[in-house]
Every structure is written in structure tokens, then in C-alpha cells.
Amino acid sequence: MTFATFKDTVEGQRAGRIVDTMQGVASGATTAAVPASGGVTTGLLFNNLGTTLYSTLKGFPKFSQMAASRDVRLMSLRNANTRELSGWLCRANLIGTLNPNATGQRLTHVATTYPLKRNRRGAARPIRGIPYILITTTTSTTAFALTMDYVNQDGTPVIGTKTYTAPATNAAQGTGGWLPLEKGDVAIQDITALNVSVAAAAGAANIYLMEPIIMASSLLTGHTTETDGLRGSRFVPPSVQPPAPTAGVLDSELVFMYAGGGSTNTALATIEAVEQ
């Protein structure tokens, strides 16, 4: 049953409700951004369950590996953090891994075939997202630099010219960053290459297509922020199940993406969703 009215939503909650918690794991101190890394200090927050930072990363457990065919809508989100920050509930869709320890094309794309798709306006359409780098092994000696080749929001292949530089020679694991896009582009459907021009001596990173779902900022340290999926999303309660890959299996976790300080941070959250 598609939710068309508030009454539909309340009735749907009886049988289709999903409540899930994140008892977060402390992120550890991350490295603050510099202008060459994009200027925004950012990171991802994960669930304690099943996570081994930064090799095995898990989000809300009930939404991990949920089938893309299910239509699950966010009703409400309550979250608290140990830091004041701007934040979003996001789908972290894994594109691949980066080894920045030599020059040249250093992205290993996962076997999953992109673009990812969701049903929008009556058809399965490619999704757009933020190109995100999450350092999973602390770098050393040199702040690596790279350019990104990608498929833009319109499905057009782009050879990138803008350089992302790691924020420090020893950028800590857990440090995130938004990879730069060419002028006129606003999002990606996929990344096809990461061309390292300056190599580090050590380090590794995950590369994601981040799909923001709803804002979940922490306005005051230690206090709870409530987000209403009915009104906070402006149009309809947003989907929280993963998108569907063109082919293969998608590694997709429901996590928090934040922009804020580099001090260690831990998320506490409960999400309420309803399956239509």
C-alpha cells in the first residue's frame, strides 16, 4: 500500500514498522581538512555491532543488505553525538578501494556494476551521489594527490582535472573527504578511475557514492536531535533501503556522514521506518 495520507502511514505502522538502533563505535580522532582536501572536515559514523575500524564497517543492522526491492520509508530519526556537527543519514554505497602508494590509476572498482538505480517517477533510474573518500589506513610520508574520472549526474563520462590532496602526510584512518567535481557537475553516478599523481608511502581508502537521505545534525553536544521523515523530507518519507545495482551484489550500509571537527565522535540513534 502506497502511503498517500497520514492515515495510511499510521495504519501501515502496525504491521510494517521497523525500529532499529545504532549503538555507535567511537570514530577515533581524524585529521582536519585543509583547502587542498576540500576544506570540509568530514567522516562517517558506524555501528558498534560488527564493525572493526576501519576494515569491516557496519551501519544500522536491520538495514544492512536489505533487499533493494523492498519499499521502506523513514518515519523518524532520533540521534545524538558526542560532538556538535552537521550530519546526514546516508547510504554509503561502496564503489571500490584506493591504494595511493604508487602513481597512476589506483582505484580497484568493486565487481558491482554501476549505475545504481531506484524507482523514481515510475521507472528505475540511476541515482546520483557524493563522491566520498574514507581513509581506512593512516597514510605516511607524503600527502597523496589524485584526480578523479567519473560518470556525472547526467550519465556523461568525465575526465577530471581538479586535484584532491590528502589533508596531511599522516592522514588518520577515519578521515573523510568529498572528491572534487568539474565545474558544472553536481554529483556522480560512478567513478571510473582515481589517478594518483603524488604517492604516499602507506595508506588505503574506501571510495563511496554517498546518498544523503535526510539531515540529522547534532546541534548541541549530548542532546538529541529529532528528524521527522514525514515533514523533514519535505515531499514524501524518504527511502532507506539500498539502491539496486545494474548487476552484481552491492555493499551498502546505512550510516551517518558528518561535517565538523576532527575529534573522536560516537553516534547514538534510533530509526523508525515503515515498509509500504
Partner 1 sequence: MSATDRPLDSLPELMARQASAGFYPIGWNLRHTPSTTTNTAAVPAGGNVFMALDRDRAAPPIGAAYRGWVVGACRGMSAGGHLYLMAKFLIGTLNFTGGAGTYVPNAAMPNRYHYGRGLAEQVIPDFSFLRVATTVVGAVTPTITLPSYTNEKAQSGRACSMQIPSNPVKGSVYALDSNLQGDDRAITDVAAMATSGGSAGAIEVWGCKEIAYEIASTSGGAGNTQAFQPASLNQPIMQPGDLYHPIKGTITSIGSFIQYDLVPILL
**CA dist., res. 91 & res. 31, Å (int):** 23
Residue from 134, 91, 135, 62 nearest 245 by CA: 91
**CA dist., res. 178 & res. 264, Å (int):** 19
Q: Three cell numbers at 90? A: 546516508
Exactly one of 23, 55, 105, 141 binds partner 1 (CB under 8 A); which one?
Answer: 23
Exactly one of 19, 102, 201, 247 binds partner 1 (CB under 8 A); which one?
Answer: 19
Q: Applying CB under 8 A, which part among 48-56, 100-108, 141-149, 151-159 lies near partner 1?
A: 48-56
Tell me whether residue 65 or residue 246 sits nearer to partner 1 (CB atom): 65
Q: Which residues of 233-252 are buried (b: 16+ CB within 10 A; e: fewer)?
A: beeebbbbbbbbbeeeebbb
Task: Work out whether 120 is an interface residue with partner 1 (CB under 8 A).
Answer: no
User: What is the DSSP annotation of 205-267?
Assistant: EEEEEEEEEEE--B-STT--EEEETTTTTSSSPPB-SPPEEEES---EEEEEEEEE-SS---E
Task: Work out whether 67 is an interface residue with partner 1 (CB under 8 A).
Answer: yes
Give the three-class secondary structure for 41: coil
The number of CA neighbours under 13 Å toward the Cβ of 34 is 12
Task: Work out whether 109 is an interface residue with partner 1 (CB under 8 A).
Answer: no
Exactly one of 28, 34, 36, 50 binds partner 1 (CB under 8 A); which one?
Answer: 50
Tell me whether residue 19 or residue 201 sits nearer to partner 1 (CB atom): 19
Smallest distance, Å, CB 22 to partner 1?
8
Tell me whether residue 13 or residue 276 sits nearer to partner 1 (CB atom): 13
Exactly one of 29, 34, 78, 97 binds partner 1 (CB under 8 A); which one?
Answer: 78
Site of interaction with partner 1 (CB under 8 A): 7, 10-11, 13-23, 47-50, 61-62, 64, 66-67, 70, 78-80, 82, 221-224, 268-270, 272, 275
